């Protein structure tokens, strides 16, 4: 009669067990560092407010901001959801567009010389100047925020992806040709894996400003996101709510960056 196979003990796999322990230790250190940093910042903030006797209508205390976070969480979470949807949708579209353009520019020097300078020039144009045109095209809803995130994110993604595609060793590419591989097989099996670290570098660069880009679009279009919430709270001198929106936007940006780093570690190791 066959016996059931026992589950392997992780401690019997020294390499994996040591790696898991190292990751847990790194996670603990990161959490402790984040808690200490946040605690220090809050103490400094509260100390400055108390020492200088700053009026509440000029700068709120941490307690007032916390009260706005808890008391106005329904409004803040709704605005945060709108901004995050715009950010993630814009980042996804920018990534797809950047990969397609980078692949075309890698396989065709003519296309690269013809269109790459134009794309870079368009990226350098101020968003404030382009925003009225985007609002006319996409309206005052979420589409404008997505379009702004795409415009801001696509160039760093494309440049890094193109560098990654070109980083594939020439001898490996030649071997694929000798073996009769098509351009798509060469791209999928060689160029794309070599480009993965470069692509994630571009994602990290774009993620740092994607939330801010979505909020800028909301300031300009009046869409119901964190940008509009912060602007309206500032206009009505609701400073605790304004700073609560700022704190949430910063937390969203940092979280997006951390998630990107974790994905990179899992997919490129």
**199: CATH:** 1.10.3720.10
How much is the pLDDT for 261? 81
Evaluate whether residue 236 is within a structural domain.
yes
Evaluate whether residue 242 is within a structural domain.
yes
Evaluate whether residue 217 is within a structural domain.
yes
Domain containing 95: what range? 58-268
Stretch 57-63: mean pLDDT, rounded? 82
Same domain for 62 and 47: no
Same domain for 63 and 179: yes
Same domain for 179 and 93: yes
Same domain for 171 and 190: yes
Evaluate whether residue 1 is within a structural domain.
no
Same domain for 126 and 29: no
- Please indicate whether residue 226 or residue 48 has the higher confidence score (pLDDT): 226
Residue 136, phi then psi, degrees to nearest 5: -65, -35
Burial zone of 173 (CB within 10 Å; 0-12 exposed, 13-18 middle, 19+ buried): middle
pLDDT bracket for residue 6 (50, 70, 90): low
Same domain for 121 and 18: no
- In the chain the first and final C-alpha atoms are separated, in Å, by 42
Is pTM beyond 0.95? Reply is no
Same domain for 74 and 46: no
Same domain for 218 and 100: yes
Same domain for 224 and 130: yes
Stretch 36-49: mean pLDDT, rounded? 82
Same domain for 79 and 26: no
Same domain for 253 and 159: yes
How much is the pLDDT for 16? 64
Same domain for 172 and 99: yes
Question: SS3 for the chain, per residue?
Answer: CCCCCCCCCHHHCHHHHHHHHHHHHHHHHHHHHHHHHHHHHHHHHHHHHHHHCCCCCCCCCHHHHHHHHHHCHHHHHHHHHHHHHHHHHHHHHHHHHHHHHHHHHHHCHHHHHHHHHHHHHHHHCCHHHHHHHHHHHHCCCHHHHHHHHHHHHHHHHHHHHHHHHHCCCHHHHHHHHHCCCCHHHHHHHHHHHHHHHHHHHHHHHHHHHHHHHHHHHHHHHCCCCHHHHHHHHHHCCCHHHHHHHHHHHHHHHHHHHHHHHHHHHHHHC
Evaluate whether residue 4 is within a structural domain.
no
Q: Number of structural domains, the chain?
A: 2
pLDDT in tens, 199-234: 988 888 888 788 988 998 898 888 889 999 999 998
Evaluate whether residue 134 is within a structural domain.
yes
Evaluate whether residue 3 is within a structural domain.
no
Average pLDDT, the chain: 83
Evaluate whether residue 138 is within a structural domain.
yes
């Amino acid at each position: 009669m066959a016996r059931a196979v026992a589950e392997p003990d992780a401690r019997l796999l020294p390499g994996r067990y040591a790696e898991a322990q190292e990751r847990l230790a790194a996670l603990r250190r990161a959490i402790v560092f984040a808690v200490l940093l946040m605690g220090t910042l809050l103490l400094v903030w509260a100390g400055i407010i108390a020492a200088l006797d700053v009026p509440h209508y000029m700068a709120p205390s941490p307690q007032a901001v916390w009260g706005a976070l808890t008391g106005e969480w329904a409004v803040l979470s709704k605005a945060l959801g709108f901004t995050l949807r715009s950010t993630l949708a814009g980042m996804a579209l920018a990534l797809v567009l950047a990969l397609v353009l980078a692949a075309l520019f890698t396989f065709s020097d003519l296309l690269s010389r013809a269109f790459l300078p134009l794309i870079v020039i368009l990226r350098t144009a101020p968003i404030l100047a382009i925003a009225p045109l985007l609002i006319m095209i996409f309206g005052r809803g979420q589409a404008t925020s997505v379009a702004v995130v795409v415009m801001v994110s696509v160039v760093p993604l494309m440049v890094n992806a193109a560098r990654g595609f070109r980083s594939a060793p020439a001898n490996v590419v030649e071997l694929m040709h000798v073996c009769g591989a098509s351009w798509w097989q060469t791209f999928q099996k060689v160029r794309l894996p070599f480009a993965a670290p470069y692509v994630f570098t571009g994602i990290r660069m774009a993620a740092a400003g994607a939330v801010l880009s979505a909020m800028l679009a909301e300031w300009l279009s009046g869409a119901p996101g964190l940008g509009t919430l912060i602007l309206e709270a500032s206009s009505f001198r609701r400073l605790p709510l304004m700073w609560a929106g700022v704190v949430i936007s910063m937390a969203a940006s940092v979280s997006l960056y951390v998630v990107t780093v974790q994905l990179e570690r899992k997919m490129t190791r």
